[in-house]
Every structure is written in structure tokens, then in C-alpha cells.
Structure 1
């Protein structure tokens, strides 16, 4: 009977066994197996990806991710724009639209938000600094076009030969460290946006600082209100959905009120509608580059591949983390092949190459959560935990522990994630809004946004990402009053010395990455990031951790369901 069920095309058992077959994928042969498997797994859901978008959650998700994606991408590119003179805001918006269109319409993981990131702007600017100092320097966009082409070819080879299966080795250790780095990059760029204004009018710079702080505080105020028990739950969800966009619009408006307006605060530099930098043609004829520079571009292309391999796949992992109740299958191999296509197109039209975004990708998924009441099973488990913790009475410091009768019955009314609106419309819509911004009237409005507001947006997104980062959580546990630490906290089972050792390794890796980014060797930071994976897989298990401690300190980033695309998680202590 079991054999008949597996062979029956209409049986549920066949669907359950399909992931098991996917786990047999190898790293090399058979070529194309991973891509074909991803397409077959996702294709049955394609129609529902559009019909499921008929849900209100798509509206706030589109608004939130539009502001969280486009404006930081432009702000990240300010240094690149002003230094190289080869890009404008138009190129950034075109790149964001291209990524949103490709991954929302054709991608297997449409929840993953792709766009212009801080690392790619650092990468492109470093290339400019290197070749600009050379005698007989090549055309910058021609050289970058070849860098992108080499990177695209390696992307395609990676996807075809199933090398994305290496993602199975990526755990929370690497994701938390990289996320910690990205969060601090956001905070740093916020400071840089402010400090650049001091080269001009001093009063305008002070107004910029004021606007940045207002943006930061107001956004956090809305977020904090959404997490309290104040107001009706629909109002709290409204604060969570629209708090940041409202803050951005309100604070930007303040720049044109009273003495703020008199100080003439610095705003975004915008060009003509749909016009490339310096009036150049949109097609970059990079094949006209001298042969010697074509070979020199190859190592840069390899470094870009390393950056995107880790950055994009980790973004996809975090966007499909185990905390999200997803039901549609992923597709890492197929999406990485698509990333090669977008990278090639970016070089062909002379725009910054887009890739997966942190923290925007998980923000997008979180905004699509459908909340519901706790199940009776969850309530019973909470009651049991409270009962067990109450049996000890007082702790060793005399602090009173809750009794069984003090169980918080608000648990029965607590909302928990019960589903995610898995669809393609919100990603496509936020990308399409980039084209709307490129029209004359809206481009003028974009040019009115003060840079100080963007600095505050950077600080908010960076601080918000730090708040939920695994490294931050462990650091807060170390300094928390032990009498106020939950008796059910898993970290209590980890020796303090081992917890300190684990966090110290992550902080050293973060520090090395951050320092390299600030140095002349900035191009090498993707290599340090990639080395986090073998460090966790081969080195950390040799240190004096117990199997239980490692299982608590680290774990898979995504659920086994998500990891099926890369052959299943290989996380072991």
C-alpha cells in the first residue's frame, strides 16, 4: 500500500515524499537538477501567487517596503553618485525596478526584496578609486560592465551545477554576524549623511541633525505603541504598518516649516526624468573595452560573485525564516540564476547591480503576517510552563516567583502569526512605484526629501535590526539582572564562559569585516563574510562546547521546509 501511495499521482504521500527526493541534490552533477527541481516545486503555486494577493496585508506591505527600500538605496548611493559622477538617482531607481520586476514575476522566492545595497555601492566606489588612479584608465562603466558580466557567468555556473547547496551550511551564526554588520553599516551611513552636510551651511547641518533625530524617535514611538496593550489591536497594527511612512512624510514636511525652511536644508540630488548620468546613452558598449582590462575585470567579478552568493542567499533565508509560517516552496538555485541575469542587465545599461536586501527582506515578510488567536494547545503549554516555574516558590535571591494562580490569562487573547500572504504583487508594486518616481512631478517631490530625514531612516532601520539580532540578544542576556531572567531562557543552560566565547568570535568576525570595509582593502570584505561558514562548520565544533550548548547558541536559519531547495539543512553541533 505504501508503494502504491507513493506512485499514485493524486496521493498526498507523493507530495510529502517530494522534498525527500530534493535532498539528494549533489553539488556538481547532474547539471540543472536544482533549477529544474525549484521550477517544478514552485510552478503549481504560480497562479495562487497572484490570486492570493487579494488581501489587505498587501497594501501596508507595499507602502512599508517601498519607503524602506528605495530611499535607503538612494542614500547609500549618494557617495557613489557624488564621487564617480557616473550615476544619478535615476540609475538607482531603474535598478530597483528591474530587480522587483524580475524576482516578482519570474522568481521562485518573490517575498525576497532585491535592490541597491550598501555593499554594492562600496564595491563600485572602490573599483572607481582603483582604476581612476591608473595611467590610461579605462572607461569606468565599460570596466564595470565586464565585472558584472564575469560575475553573471559565475552566477549561472553556480546555479546550473547546484553549488547553491552550500547554503545548507549557513546557520544563525553566519546570519547574525552578517546582519550585525549590515545594521552597523546602516548606522554608519546615517552618520555620513549628516557629516557631509557640514561641508556646506552650518545651520542647515544642524537642522539635518534635528530632522534625523525626529525621524528616529517618531518611528520608534509608533513601533513601541504597536507593541503595547494600548488602543485597539487594529490601531496597534496600523501603527506597525504605517508608522515609518507617516514619520518620514511628517518629518520631511517639517523641513519646510518656519525657521527650518529658512535654513535651506540639504535635499536629494535628482536629475531629469528617465535620463542617465551626463546625458549618456542607456546602452553601455562594454565590449569596446581594451583586452587587458577584460582580464583584469575577472578577479573583481569573482569577488562580486562571493558577495552576492552570501548576501542574496542569506537575505532569502532570513526572509523565509523559521518564525514565519510559510507553505509555498522556495527556489534558491533558480533565483540565483535570475540574479545572474539582473547582474548582466545592470552592466549592460550602466546601473548598480541589485541583490537581496537585509533588513528589508524579512521586514517585507513580517509585514505580510496574518495574526490570529493562540490555539488551545499553546495556552495549555503556557499554563504548564507557568505551573512548573511556580513550584520553586522564591529564587535564591529572594525574588518572588509567580504562583500557579498568577498565570497571565491574556495569553488566551494573544495574537500569534498563523499565516503569511505569500504573493508577488507587493514586490512588483513597490518596484513599479520606482518608475512612478522617475516621472517629472514625482521626481520633483523626491528632490524635496531632506537628507537629514534619510539619516534618521538609516538610524531607525539599523537600530531596529540590531534590536532583534542574535548577537544583541546574547549581549543583553549577559548584562541582564539574573533575578529578572526568565527561568525558561535556554541560555541559562549554557555556561557563561562558553556564551562569552561564542559571542566574542562573532564580534571579532564582525569587527574584521567592518574594519576591512573602511580600509583600502574594502573589496576583500565579501571574502571575510564567506569565511564565516567554514569557521562555523569546521572550527567552532573543535572548541570546548558541548553538543547541547552549540544547539542552543546556534541553529538553522530557516525551517526544514525552506531548506529543501538546497538539499536540507546540515546544521549539526
Structure 2
């Protein structure tokens, strides 16, 4: 082709055939940039501002190795291995893909590749080809000009080589039953040695179109194909590396119809088939590395690829021979090490490690606690509330649309049953504590009204409102005070609620919620662990109480149970066998009159003579402690309790098991709690024993007959009690603020990846409004329930549906919406009408769910991991717990011991009448955490906890100061080497 005078040489846009595509061998391209200078496109470590394209963040790459097999007379391309992140080899004998494993390479294959690239490698960057024939045409014209290969490749040999490259390769695509039916009798996708025939390579087979592997790849995945083999008509090795300007689907070259970004050809004379195979694997492993892939996209010549290989070798780990089995396949690790520090700054992204926490351990060096946007003071009255409303308003429509998912249906049923059980439990305790002025029905109504209102208008609708233990203690003390001093309880309680709402509104107006910045993980874990242990303790305690009401047969004393039978109810001894060896029969004309020593009152008969149902049928009356006994109820209750707990735990983790397809495992995991409850109910129905069931009110009326649904302002109380109610309201306001905001901080942690933001001020505002409403109606007071809210969020976790083989599903965040909470509280309100259905649910099953919620909440705490370290010898301690690499073990144990002592103090306080000062103890945890800075260094606290925030600057100067610090940080970062931006080679802090 001839070039027009006005065209610039090397401009591929003016050369659609690609006759003069920019190609280099071992020489560096000419350009306006100094070699090795800043922004040099040949430097794989430092990108220039003009080198950043749409594919800068390296996308997922599907890599496929096609080898030329079959001998010189019938050569054919066969796919023998593939990589996405891990390697899968084709087991030729078994005709199946191996399980994904970590790829291993002989070191000499990388060194051979590094030597071969400068010697005779051809690099085609920004290739404008649209299909494989055009790509081969461009490559054929470029390889002719090479002094090493051009004279050895005649026109006839080039045509033979092009025809060979255009053969359709054989892919191993596992056949499903649907594909077997549709392709019955069809021949497998096998290549043939034919002359130049582009149509063969362009036609996709039905298997490729229906390949299930394509559904596992994330959107935007590109392909890289490596062609390796030996040819008898080649005298010298041929190595070509092509980077496409615009990725194109190259026919059937790849088993999945993906646009190909890279094409690598490794061909040579016979005699080194094993060598070409290992060279192809070496290229594939290099391309599976994100840093090398980033370098290959910008390579302009072999030297750039060599620089990328050198960077790969710098981070390579070599295992000595004889210390491990090289044929063993290493399974993919559960947690991949953070490789973002090897990448240039613009390619870095925050990735959550195995435990789901976003704050990576490698980023804790020099970490500074920056307040989130929701906790920055505006300096205006109700400024934080206004910011919350503006932040949440654009998300309001999506808060309902995002709830239209089948996962939300499972969450509604799960949280509904937990909420109903909790409402019944606290309703019964409130009834005892307040003399029936508040009972189960009031608990149901208050939960429904307060919860639904909060979910509709609050800033964090995933929060579940409920009564709590400290509030129950306050209610008991308040009722006792009113009873002892002859005060009208509900009117006095109304004024306490009015004052609490007033104080909470004052906290909202002054933006006091910013104080929650001082609630570090030390405080959060202490509070969350306490609430979780309370759930576990209450679940076990309720089961023990059931065993006391319905004891086992070994504790039932037969002689202490007696029955009084009225006349005339004669029985016949010795007929049949019952509980005590006798069975009564009613008197009939065919039965003789028994001679029993009954007087006018009829005496006492041993229970061994009668069965309980027959005695009641005869008009008898049961006396004695053993009369309520039902055989095997205690054992069945324990069985239901434990089976529900363990089945919920097993089914929740079923998605990580190897059984069944991914869709089935995910569905079972999403509906694990519902399936566990149904399993418990089915087990109870199969045995048919009279286990205790869930009982809800069947009539809509106040529990106390002397009260209505609206509370009078004064009642029989004096007017001066209205301002006097402010004194107890101060303590209750502190309790509400601490309980609400600590739960809000836990729910809005960064590890949950919430996208719609928090609303600390807005949440507290609606808690204050609901405090007014429930006080006026005589309903219980409500704040955020930590464990149930965490269970709600756990049931709404989103994970990636397209999972690369060998890689665990990635946590994407929480399904943030208002629909699940709204439906939960609506169903709670109408539970009165669902009583005929709910009565079939055994209480031990619900207690098992309570136990599961407590254990699940504990499992997410780092405190639990550190407690386990106390029991594990040092040589068996988990290496993945990175804090052990930076903090001495005795210091870790010291920090854990302080937390356990604080937790024990909170537990003892909760168990006494002094539980009303519980919020003050939570404030004490903040003080203890501050005092720990005198015992531990900032580096140790950065790993064990979180840094305490700096004092809040003035609102007017805060933004300017933050901007200056950010600019200063960027300048310091630019001064660091690209590979050592925040740490030295050994992980030491070099950023001061």
C-alpha cells in the first residue's frame, strides 16, 4: 500500500488495513517524551496524564491457552488451560476441567521468556484489526520486514501459517442436558487443517453461545488468547504479542464470545514442545497479574514487556525444591493478599478483606480518623438535621424500589418472627413491672406504630426499633415510685416522655450527634457483645424455664400427684396399662361394681389407677406438682431449640458449600432462617406433643380495664409534678441517646458499604417524636435494637452473582431500602388477626432463632477472635490475623483483658437495680479508651482499635484546614516512589 502525502506516518486511523501499524521489536519508539521521564508511556510504573484511557483500571481478563497438537500431519488447536484469576487445566484423559488452583511455574520459563522477547519478539501495540483474518494480515506484513524472520518466511509459508492460525480450535465445554438435547448427533467443535477459510473461524458454535462460563464472568471482562506449539516448517522461534486498540470478538478463537484484548503467538521449530507449553503458561500467569496487565496495555516494545516481567519477578516467591510437591495443586486462598500497594495510585481501589472490613490492615500505618460527612458540624441550629434530609431525599423513591427482591421477602419473615417474639417477651415483662398498665397488646401496637413510622421517615430505615432492658428497668422503677407515693402512673409517665423528647430535640438542634465520633471499636464491641450475650443468656434461660414447668420424667414424683374424683365415678382396677400400671373404665351394665372405699366426699386415689385424660373425662380434678407433666415435652423442646439453632447456622453458610449449583445454594442461604423455622415446626407436628406455642392477643383492647388509648395530661396528679418529671427524664434522655446512637454507629460502619449515607440527626429526631406519641398513648418506649438490627442487615447482604471460579463471592453491600422494615411492623400490627396461624409455631423454635441472632452478632466482633487467641498456642494461631504481625502477643492479651473486664462490669451492672445508670457506664467506656492511650502506643491502637478523632475545629475553619491537609498529603505522596508510597520495603512507615 502507498501512503498519501498528507497522512502522518504511523497513523492507524488513516490506515484501516493496518499496513503501517506502529510495531516495534527491540528498539524504543520515537516520541516527544524523554525515555524514563515522568509520564513516559514505556515506563510501566509511572503513567502520564495523556496515557490514561478508558481501560486504565485493568478489567477482569479471561486468559486461554491453545496448543497445537496432533502431530505434523494433522495439527489442530486444542484449548488446554484457562485462567481468570486462578488456573484450570484440561484433564485430557478424563475430559474435564480441573478445580481452580493457584498457578505454579518453573522459574526458568519466566527467564526464558525474558531473554526471548528482546531477541526476536514482535510487539504490535494499538492494533486496529477488526477480526482475526485482518489481524493475521497485519501481522504477516509486519513479520516480513523483520531481519530475523522475514527471509525465512516465504509467501507460501506465510499462507500455510495463516491457514493454520485460522483453524477453529477445539474447546472443552461441559455439556448440559439442554445442550445435549439440542445438539444430539452434532459433532464437537473441532478444527480441521484447511486452506485460507475465514468463515470457519468466524462462526460461533451453539456450545459457545450457551457456555455457562460466560454467566460467571463479571461485566466488562476481556479475553487474552495464547497460541503455542511447534511447526516443522519453521526454522526460528516466532513470538508475537498483540494489544488490540479496541477489543474485538475473534470468532471461535476463545471458548467464551468475549472481546479479545491481547493475542500472543509462540511458535517454533520441533523439539521443544514442553518448552513452548511452559512459555505459554508463563505469559498467561503474567497476564493474570494486575500490575503486569496494566504494563502490557501500555507496552510499545519488547523492552516494556521485559520491564513488566522484572516488576513481576521483584514480587515473586520461590519455593526450594524438595520442600513441597510441585505436582500438588494449591487451592485458592480464602483471603487474597491486598495487592493494591503494587499498583499505581489511580488503579487502587478499596477492597474488603475476608472479614468484610474495608479498613485494610496494610492501610493502618499512618491512618488518621477522618469524620464522615454525616458527623461534620455545620455550626447552624438544626444544621445537621437539614443536611440529613437533603442527603436522604434523593434516595427516597429507590428506598422502595430496591425492596422489590425475593431476598427481601425472606428478610421480612425472619425479622417479623423475631420482632413478634421480642414484643411478646417484653410485653409480658412490662405487664408484670407496671401492674398491667402496659402489656402484650400495648407492646404489639407500639412496636407496629413506632417501627412503621421510623422506617418511613428515618435516616437509616434498616434500624429495627424495640424495647430494651435498661428501659424496662426504668419503667419498673418509675411505676414503683408512683405506686409508693400514690401518683397516677400514666400521666406522670407522659410528662417524663415529653421532657425526654424535649431534651432529644435539643440534642438534635445543637448537633450533639457528632459526639458519636468518639465511639471507637472498643466501645462498640463492648456494647454489641453485651447485647449479644443478653440474647444468648435469655434464650437459654427461657429454655430452662420451660424445663421447670414441664420437667423430665426422672424429676416427676408419682406419689405426690393425687386426683380427687366426684361421685359417681367408679373405676375398675387392673384393666390395661397406663402411666401407673392401671386403666380406668366407666361403669357399664356389663361391668361389676367395684368395691372402693369412697365416702360421701370420696377419698383420694393414687394416680397410678387413672390416666390423666380419663380422670378429667370422669370429672376428676388434678392435684399435686406433677399434674401438669406431659411425657417427653422437655426433651422435645430442647431438641427443637438446638435443631433450629444448628440448622439456621448450617443453612446460612450453605452458600459456601460444594453441593448443588450456585443458584440453589444462594436461595437456601437467603431463606435459611425461614427453612429452619419450618423444619422445627414440622418436627413438632410430627411428634404431636403439647409443646408451648406462640400465643398472641386475640382481642384489641387495653390490658388494664381502667385505662384508655389516650393518657390525660394530669389525671389525679398535682401540677408541680409536670416540671418535676424533668429530673428522671434527664437520665432517660441520656439512655435513649446512647442506646440509639451506638446502635446507629454500629449499623453505619464502613465495612457494610452503605451507599445512601447515614442520618444520625434525623434518626434521633424521629425517636424523640415517637417518644411523644407512645407516651400520649400509654405505649412502651422504643429505641434501636442492636442485635435484631444487625440480623436485619445480615439478611439483606448482597454478594456478586458472577463469581470467578475459585474466587469466593464478593460482598457488595447491603440492600438499603425501607420496604422490609415497613412490612415487618405492619405484620406485627395485624398479628392479632394472624393468631390462628401463629399458634402452630413452638416457642423453643423461636428461642433457637434468638440464640442464633446472638451468636451471629458475636461472630462479627474482633473481640471474639482475640479471646480465642487466649486459648490457642502461639504456633497454632491464625497467620491471617494481621495484627499479630505488628503487635506483641502479650499486648494483644492485655488489650483483650481490659475489654473483658469492662464487659464483665457492664454485665454485673445490668444484673442489678443500678442498671438505670447503664448509659453512664457506656460513657465510661469512652473514658477508659482515652486512658488506654497512656498504656498503648498509637501504632498498637491503630491495629487493635481505631484512632480517636482530633478535637473538632471551628465550622468555618474546618473545611479550609482539611483542604490544606489534603493538598499537603498529595504532595508528600508524589515524593514517594510508586512502589513504596506509604511504607518501606519491609512494611515500615516512611510517611512520617
Tell whether the structures are fold-level matches, with TM greater than 0.5. yes
What number of residue pairs does the alignment pair up? 499
Match of 1:390 in 2: none
Q: Is residue 525 of structure 1 aligned with residue 918 of structure 2?
A: yes
CA distances 1:363-420 after superposition (whole Å, capped 9, x unpaired):
32232232116899xxxxxxxxxxxxxxxxxxxxxxxxxxxxxxxx712xx2112243
Determine which of 193, 203, 221 is the counterpart of 2:542: 193
Q: Shift in Å at residue 547 of structure 1?
A: 1.4
Q: Shift in Å at residue 472 of structure 1?
A: 0.9
Tell me, what secondary structure is at the counterpart of 2:750? coil
> Relative to structure 1, is the Cα distance of residues 229 and 37 closer, same or farther in structure 2, using a 3 angstrom cutoff?
same
Q: Is residue 554 of structure 1 aligned with residue 952 of structure 2?
A: no
CA distances 1:208-246 after superposition (whole Å, capped 9, x unpaired):
434322322222232243443333222322232222223
Q: Shift in Å at residue 510 of structure 1?
A: 1.4
Most deviating of 190-199 and 328-337? 190-199
**What does residue range 281-430 of structure 1 map to in structure 2 within 5 Å?**
281-288=708-715, 289-291=717-719, 293-295=721-723, 297-372=725-800, 410-411=806-807, 414-430=808-824
> Relative to structure 1, is the Cα distance of residues 197 and 171 closer, same or farther in structure 2, using a 3 angstrom cutoff?
same
Q: Is residue 221 of structure 1 aligned with residue 614 of structure 2?
A: no
* Maintained 8 Å contact 2:652/2:670: no
Tell me, what secondary structure is at the counterpart of 1:370? strand
> Relative to structure 1, is the Cα distance of residues 227 and 77 closer, same or farther in structure 2, using a 3 angstrom cutoff?
farther
CA distances 1:426-462 after superposition (whole Å, capped 9, x unpaired):
11111111122122xx124334543333332222211
Match of 1:380 in 2: none
**What does residue range 494-573 of structure 1 map to in structure 2 within 5 Å?**
494-536=887-929, 538-543=930-935, 545-555=936-946
Match of 1:473 in 2: 865
Q: Shift in Å at residue 60 of structure 1?
A: 2.2
Give the gaps of 5 or more residues in structure 1.
1-18, 377-408, 559-563
Most deviating of 318-327 and 122-131? 122-131
Provide the rounded CA distance (Å) in 2 between the counterparts of 1:550 and 1:306: 28
Determine which of 875, 880, 886 is the counterpart of 1:483: 875
Match of 2:377 in 1: 25
Give the gaps of 5 or more residues in structure 2.
1-370, 552-628, 950-954, 963-992
**What does residue range 118-157 of structure 1 map to in structure 2 within 5 Å?**
118-132=469-483, 134-136=484-486, 138-157=487-506
Provide the rounded CA distance (Å) in 2 between the counterparts of 1:193 and 1:321: 32
Determine which of 832, 848, 856 is the counterpart of 1:456: 848
**What does residue range 69-148 of structure 1 map to in structure 2 within 5 Å?**
69-84=419-434, 85-132=436-483, 134-136=484-486, 138-148=487-497
Q: Shift in Å at residue 128 of structure 1?
A: 3.2
Tell me, what secondary structure is at the counterpart of 1:57? helix
Most deviating of 122-131 and 416-425? 122-131
* Maintained 8 Å contact 1:113/1:360: yes
Provide the rounded CA distance (Å) in 2 between the counterparts of 1:285 and 1:368: 42
Q: Is residue 162 of structure 1 aligned with residue 589 of structure 2?
A: no
Q: Is residue 48 of structure 1 aligned with residue 398 of structure 2?
A: yes
* Maintained 8 Å contact 2:433/2:475: no
Match of 1:65 in 2: 415
Tell me, what secondary structure is at the counterpart of 1:277? coil
Q: Shift in Å at residue 556 of structure 1?
A: 7.5
Q: Aligned Cα RMSD in Å?
A: 3.0
Provide the rounded CA distance (Å) in 1 between the counterparts of 2:401 and 2:672: 28
Match of 2:829 in 1: 435
CA distances 1:455-512 after superposition (whole Å, capped 9, x unpaired):
3222221122222222211111332343344434222121222212211221122111
Determine which of 385, 393, 408 is the counterpart of 1:35: 385
Q: Shift in Å at residue 52 of structure 1?
A: 2.7
Q: Shift in Å at residue 332 of structure 1?
A: 0.7
Provide the rounded CA distance (Å) in 2 between the counterparts of 1:472 and 1:21: 30
* Maintained 8 Å contact 1:170/1:533: yes
Tell me, what secondary structure is at the counterpart of 2:799? strand
Q: Shift in Å at residue 271 of structure 1?
A: 2.7
Tell me, what secondary structure is at the counterpart of 2:453? helix
Provide the rounded CA distance (Å) in 2 between the counterparts of 1:191 and 1:56: 32
Q: Shift in Å at residue 539 of structure 1?
A: 1.1
* Maintained 8 Å contact 2:500/2:729: yes
- Compute the TM-score of the two structures, normalised by the length of structure 1: 0.79
* Maintained 8 Å contact 1:38/1:331: yes
> Relative to structure 1, is the Cα distance of residues 195 and 488 closer, same or farther in structure 2, using a 3 angstrom cutoff?
closer
Provide the rounded CA distance (Å) in 2 between the counterparts of 1:104 and 1:245: 23
Q: Is residue 446 of structure 1 aligned with residue 838 of structure 2?
A: yes
CA distances 1:309-352 after superposition (whole Å, capped 9, x unpaired):
12212222222221222221221111101110111111111221
Q: Shift in Å at residue 24 of structure 1?
A: 4.9
Most deviating of 442-451 and 154-163? 442-451
Match of 1:3 in 2: none
RCO greater where, 1 or 2, for CA within 8 Å and sep 6 or more? 1
Provide the rounded CA distance (Å) in 2 between the counterparts of 1:296 and 1:432: 37
* Maintained 8 Å contact 1:64/1:241: no
Tell me, what secondary structure is at the counterpart of 1:479? coil
Q: Is residue 266 of structure 1 aligned with residue 692 of structure 2?
A: yes
Tell me which protein shows more helix as a share of its residues. Answer: 1
> Relative to structure 1, is the Cα distance of residues 188 and 57 closer, same or farther in structure 2, using a 3 angstrom cutoff?
same
Tell me, what secondary structure is at the counterpart of 1:272? coil
Provide the rounded CA distance (Å) in 1 between the counterparts of 2:800 and 2:391: 28
CA distances 1:511-550 after superposition (whole Å, capped 9, x unpaired):
11111111121211221123222322x311122x121110
Most deviating of 457-466 and 297-306? 297-306
Match of 1:178 in 2: 527
Provide the rounded CA distance (Å) in 2 between the counterparts of 1:257 and 1:81: 34
> Relative to structure 1, is the Cα distance of residues 512 and 298 closer, same or farther in structure 2, using a 3 angstrom cutoff?
farther
Provide the rounded CA distance (Å) in 2 between the counterparts of 1:449 and 1:66: 13
> Relative to structure 1, is the Cα distance of residues 31 and 222 closer, same or farther in structure 2, using a 3 angstrom cutoff?
same
* Maintained 8 Å contact 1:109/1:335: yes
Q: Shift in Å at residue 198 of structure 1?
A: 5.3
